């Protein structure tokens, strides 16, 4: 398979994964909030409790734009280190979603799609390695910076999604 095709598939794979969160996260948090609050007092991810599906949808839209931009730039300019970094971060993201239900001892939205989409990122990384497109030091450095950027962008996107939701859905 052509590496550019694999690069352009990433936004589709990403959205397949995030649709599970979009569809089920709000009700899951509502059902599990008390138990989670007792287990993880003061933890950051409990801030999601105030999120509506529309706020999460706006956040996911902004992440989709980020992922799409990464894929398009990687494909057009042959920025293999950037795309490898995206795949490494996506792989870690999926592994976290696979470990969360084990730690929480319950299903979480995103686990099922993480299991389904993990082979894509592993395949891409393996394929890039076979083509000698992964350059050790460069890939590690770009991955660290990309991970930091993606995490910061997610935080900003979440705040924007929450703010827009509050503007349009005031009680």
Q: Which structural domain, as residue segments, surrounds residue 51?
A: 3-168
CB 124 within 8 A of CB 168: no
Helix (H) or strand (E) holding 105: none
90: which 2 tokens? 């996506």
pLDDT for the residue 40: 67
- Separation CA 127–CA 7 (nearest Å): 12
What's the number of domains the chain is made of? 1
CB count, 10 Å around CB of 130?
9
Share in percent of the chain as helix, strand, coil (round to 5): 85, 0, 15
The tens-digit pLDDT sequence of the chain (171 residues) is 799 999 999 999 999 999 998 899 888 888 887 777 777 655 555 555 667 888 888 989 999 999 999 999 999 999 999 999 999 999 999 999 999 899 888 899 999 999 999 999 999 999 999 999 988 888 889 889 998 999 899 889 888 988 988 888 765
């Amino acid at each position: 398979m052509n590496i550019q095709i694999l690069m352009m598939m990433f936004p589709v794979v990403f959205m397949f994964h995030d649709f599970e969160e979009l569809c089920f996260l709000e009700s899951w948090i509502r059902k599990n909030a008390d138990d989670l609050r007792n287990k993880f007092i003061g933890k950051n991810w409990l801030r999601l409790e105030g999120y509506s599906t529309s706020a999460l949808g706006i956040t996911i839209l902004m992440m989709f734009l980020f992922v799409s931009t990464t894929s398009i730039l990687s494909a057009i300019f042959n920025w293999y280190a950037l795309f490898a970094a995206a795949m490494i971060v996506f792989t870690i993201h999926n592994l976290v979603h696979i470990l969360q239900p084990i730690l929480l001892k319950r299903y979480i939205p995103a686990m099922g799609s993480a299991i389904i989409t993990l082979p894509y990122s592993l395949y891409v990384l393996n394929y890039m390695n076979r083509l000698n497109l992964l350059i050790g030091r460069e890939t590690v450095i770009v991955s660290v910076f990309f991970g930091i950027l993606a995490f910061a962008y997610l935080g900003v996107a979440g705040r924007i999604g929450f703010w827009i939701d509050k503007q349009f859905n005031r009680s």
